[in-house]
Amino acid sequence: MSNLRTEEFDINMGPHHPSTHGVCRLLLTMDGEKVVKVVPYIGYLHRAIEKICENRTYAMCIPILDRFEYVTAMSCNYVFSLAAERLSGIEVPERAEYLRVIMLELNRIASHLIFFGTTAMDIGALTPFLYALREREYIMDLFEMTCGQRLTYNYIRVGGVSKDIPNEFTPKCRETVATISDKVEEYKRLLNGNPIWKMRTIGVGKLDADLALAYGVSGPILRASGVDYDLRRDDPYSIYDRFDYNIPIYQNGDVYDRYMIRLDEIQESCKIVAQALDQIEDGPIRAKVSPNFKPAAGETYTRIENSRGEMGVYLVSDGTKKPFRVKARGGSYPHLQLLPEIATNCMIADLVAIFASFDVILPEVDR
Amino acid sequence: MLEYIKGFFELVKGLGITGKHLTKHAVTLQYPEEKDVMPERSRGVVVLLSDKEDGSLNCTSCLLCMKACPTAAIIIDAPRGEDKKKVLKKFELDFSLCCYCGLCEEACNFSALKLTGKYEYSTGNKDDLIWDVHKLQDVGRDVDYVDKRKKKVKKVAPKPTVSEATDEIKPTQSADKIETKPVEIKTDKIKTDKIETPQDKDEKPKTEGEA
Amino acid sequence: MIAVGITVALKEILASFGLSGGLLSVVTYAILASATFGLLSVLALFLVWWERKIAGHMQQRFGPMRNGWHGWYQTLVDGLKLLQKEDVRVATRDKVVFFWAPVMCFIAAFAAYIVIPFGDGLIVADLNIGILYIMAITTFTVISLLMAGWGSNNKYALLGGMRSAAQVVSYEVPMVASILVVVLYAGSLSTVDIVNSQAGNFLNWNIFRVPYGPLAFLTYLVAAIAEANRTPFDLAEAEQELVAGFNIEYSGMKFAMFFLAEFINLFTVSAIAVILFFGGWHGFEFIPSFVWFFLKTFAVVFLLIMIRWTYPRMRVDQLMEFAWKFLVPLTFLNIIIAAIFKHFGWYWEL
């Protein structure tokens, strides 16, 4: 049998494929069911977001950057606003900071719910996807109630937020957060013990901490590999020091851990939102910022902890009302680079599971 | 072996969870028959607002919305007329470009346009997505809004009383613009705004345009 | 109860019209075949709708709602749409293989119904090797899937075809081994005899023959899901991996044939489960026997649908490992246990 001649063949997975989450082309060299080589080809969704931002005023950049990573558009809003505020030294009112934290954490929950659903779907269970989206809709309703949009919010602005929350927001938000916390327990009951799920995820796509650090991996994937690194705590921004929350750490760095850490983070985020709703007080929601906002000339790299890892904006201002250069950094790009490293010599089904567990958002990779 | 038995019970538990959901009612809506209530702040179709009392456009052709638009979806053509006042000749909104960011609404100081909760405007023809001023106004007729304009304007519009209006010059001027334009626009439909201008001028003395 | 078999009854009716000899048999079986075909087509359409409804409600949606009451003729409309669609054929296909694959799949799915008793006497032909015949004929499905995979000349399709071949061949073994337990007790391969051996009290059903009965049912169920190519073993068309697997290049009516065959196979494996383990058409006498048969079969179908929409998919190597390292030894062990119980007479016959 051993001298049986086999032949490798190439197969194009994507640009249009059910499990590439957008338009990413993976050129696979296969040996039967086994993947010998993976080469990701990106750029199908390039929209020149960074360049567009150079031709827009700071206020206009925010809706454009909404499209940078649309699953967590709040953090795109936030990181750009934060960078502009740091350049010009604007003090953000207390209430605005709380509102920002509430929105960021709700958005993190929404994003992780998407992750949960799509990963389960890619591994073959279709029903959890619908459950996850059902819960996500509640969060979208909260966002729509506050800022009028469900996906591209344009809510967090330079100097604060655009609108105060409506009266019915607080009770509804508390209810939503409690529901989601319960539902996450149900998800765990549904999948965690399932032997098929365990077979498909445990020990699959192992990523050790050294490799993760070498590739610039951040966020939940890094923490699933046992590196305790969270920008909310390690590079403090906003008012995260006022809340009591844990940063979940897992050690194995396989698909199962990457899945578990996100479910845990949903529950931690629920805690943060509940605390923020308790602590929030009345007050102004936006510092005085002129419509022709011109920050002082200078440059800054501002980063925050996004649901996909470190999201940063390198902003150069020349003192005019348009930014001189906007460089956006998203978590997905390094994660996609990592794919050839850990998905080589696995089965094609594992490749799908690993790719799903990275939670890559292609518009963010292609920008 | 024990592991397999445990796994089997976990599988049954999974069936139990999905089976439990089978008995619950669906959370989705049957869309064309049932419609979700859009929140007050919902950002959907952009409409041009009309004055609550006389139904004329609130727009003053100040071009602020056009300048605020990040995708250049709004095109306004408002050349100055003979009396140095801007005449709204063209207001086009291209919904294929619009990103519903709401910056135009925030830029507007005269409550002239608003993003509403309306969303059913899909079409098979891309050209139909470019809405002109009449369509934008017609769609926005039933939209309730908070008038951001100065109170004075309202008083001027229905009753042309000379004494009150002379107190302040600026608002009346803006009021004038608001007054006069809609009249022209309505006549615009027949594309004979030049001919109609005398009518316009007839009205102006009544509202004491030149203070 | 219908004392005489439907075939015999039909033959008598036709003979009274003056038919005889070979012609009589041909006409009889032609009528029965078309009746079965019609019944199964309706059944497949119903099953598609039913599965979509169950999946929908399980996911807290409605499922099809547009055509008729709760969309009851949705699948009919879908079928009409597929009929009208262009039959897209890849230029690089293997013409003969590509054409015959769906036909074969369709025929294999229907042919099994010759020996399935829908009720007392409602059977086309009571072959004395009934179960063996079903096992043989349903295996034709895998050849058709392999043909589809090869004939499409598409890498995804080929992978899907290969997967299904490996899978079905492996799961055939535990399936037959599970069935053997029942055959051991019935002492016959004929489906009618197997059902009749479970007559009388419902405790006579094979599933209640503790401990080997339930075990045989479970192993049969697992193998049956694999045979019917459904999640967690739907590797042949694994949507997230192989897009659509073996039927990726098929469209229009050819796709519809694969699709309907899949649902008929679903009904077949459920019907066999009922025949083997749930006493076939037997039940309380005041309800007609075919009603019992359909009730029981739909219950098993419901279970299979629930399983499909709950579990994730297995990986191909795990699937093979599960079959050869766990299922095959377990089923063989089960046969030995059953033989011991049978030998010492440790079972009841009420």
Q: Does residue A258 form part of some domain?
A: yes
B13 touches chain A (CB under 8 A): yes
DSSP A164-205: PPPTTHHHHHHHHHHHHHHHHHHHHHHHTT-HHHHHHHTTSS
Q: Where are the alpha helices (DSSP H) in chain C?
A: 6-16, 21-58, 74-84, 95-111, 130-138, 140-151, 155-186, 191-196, 212-227, 239-242, 252-277, 289-308, 316-321, 328-343
Strands B90-94 and B74-77: antiparallel
The residue that leads in pLDDT, B55 or C74, is C74
Longest alpha-carbon distance in chain B: 98
Residue whose pair of structure tokens reads 């049956």 in the numeric block: C224
pTM: 0.84
B184 band by pLDDT with thresholds 50, 70 and 90: very low
Q: How many CB atoms lie within 10 A of CB A34?
A: 17
Read off the pLDDT of residues C81-117 as tens digits, 9 standing for 90 and up.
Answer: 888 888 888 888 888 888 888 888 888 888 888 888 8
CATH of the domain at A293: 1.10.645.10
A61 band by pLDDT with thresholds 50, 70 and 90: confident
pLDDT at B203 over 70: no
Minimum Cα–Cα distance from A191: chain B residue: B14
Q: Hey, of A151, A176, A190, A321, which one would you mutate to test binding to chain B, going by the most B CBs within 10 A of its CB?
A: A190
Lowest mean pLDDT among A209-223, B17-31, B151-165: B151-165
Cβ neighbours of residue C338 closer than 8 Å, sequence gap 6 or more: C181, C184, C185, C209, C212, C216
CB-nearest to C59 from A17, A19, A127 is A127
Retrieve residue C144's tokens.
């058709």
Residues of B with CB under 8 A from a CB of C: 4, 11, 14-15, 17-19, 21-22, 24-28, 30
Read off the pLDDT of residues A80-116 as tens digits, 9 standing for 90 and up.
Answer: 888 888 888 888 888 888 988 999 899 999 999 999 9
Q: Hey, of C53, C54, C62, C66, which one would you mutate to test binding to chain B, going by the most B CBs within 10 A of its CB?
A: C62
State phi, psi for A310 to the nearest 5 degrees.
-75, 125
> Which 8-state DSSP code applies to residue A13?
E
Contact residues on chain C for A126, CB-CB shorter than 8 A = 55, 59, 231, 309
CB distance A154 to A162 below 8 Å: yes
pLDDT of the residue at B150: 66
Structural domains counted in chain A: 1
C248 touches chain A (CB under 8 A): no
State phi, psi for A10 to the nearest 5 degrees.
-95, 145
Q: Which runs of E-coded beta strand occur in A167-318?
A: 298-306, 309-317
Beta-ladder partners of B74: B93
CA angle C124, C125, C126 (to 5 degrees): 130
CB distance A220 to A258 below 8 Å: yes
pLDDT of the residue at C11: 76
Domain ranges of chain B: 46-206
Retrieve residue B52's tokens.
């609550």
Average pLDDT of chain C? 84
C58 touches chain A (CB under 8 A): yes
Beta-ladder partners of A316: A299, A325
What is the arithmetic mean of pLDDT over B2-29? 84
CB-nearest to B30 from C54, C65, C311 is C65
Question: Using only C-alpha atoms, what is the Rg of chain A?
Answer: 21
State phi, psi for A298 to the nearest 5 degrees.
155, -175
Read off the pLDDT of residues C175-224 as tens digits, 9 standing for 90 and up.
Answer: 888 888 888 888 888 888 888 888 777 777 878 777 788 888 889 998 88
pLDDT at A210 over 50: yes
Read off the pLDDT of residues B72-131 as tens digits, 9 standing for 90 and up.
Answer: 888 888 888 777 777 778 888 888 888 888 888 888 888 888 888 888 888 888 888 888
How many Cβ contacts (< 8 angstroms) between chains A and C? 82
Q: Hey, of A33, A118, A355, which one would you mutate to test binding to chain C, going by the most C CBs within 10 A of its CB?
A: A33
pLDDT of the residue at C172: 87
Read off the pLDDT of residues C119-135 as tens digits, 9 standing for 90 and up.
Answer: 777 777 777 888 888 88
Beta-ladder partners of A286: A160
Contact residues on chain A for B69, CB-CB shorter than 8 A = 60
Average pLDDT of chain B? 72
The residue type found at C101 is A
Retrieve residue C64's tokens.
């099809």
At the second CATH level, the architecture of B46-206 is 2-Layer Sandwich (3.30)
Contact residues on chain B for A134, CB-CB shorter than 8 A = 27
CB neighbour class for B87 (10 Å; exposed up to 12, middle 13-18, buried from 19)? buried
Residue C102: cis peptide before it, omega within 30 degrees of 0: no
What's the domain range around A258? 45-334+349-366
pLDDT at B179 over 60: no
Q: Where are the alpha helices (DSSP H) in chain B?
A: 2-23, 64-68, 103-107, 133-139, 151-156, 162-165, 170-188, 193-206
Q: Residue B84 and residue B180: Cα distance in Å, rounded?
A: 13
Q: Residue B205 and residue B207: Cα distance in Å, rounded?
A: 5
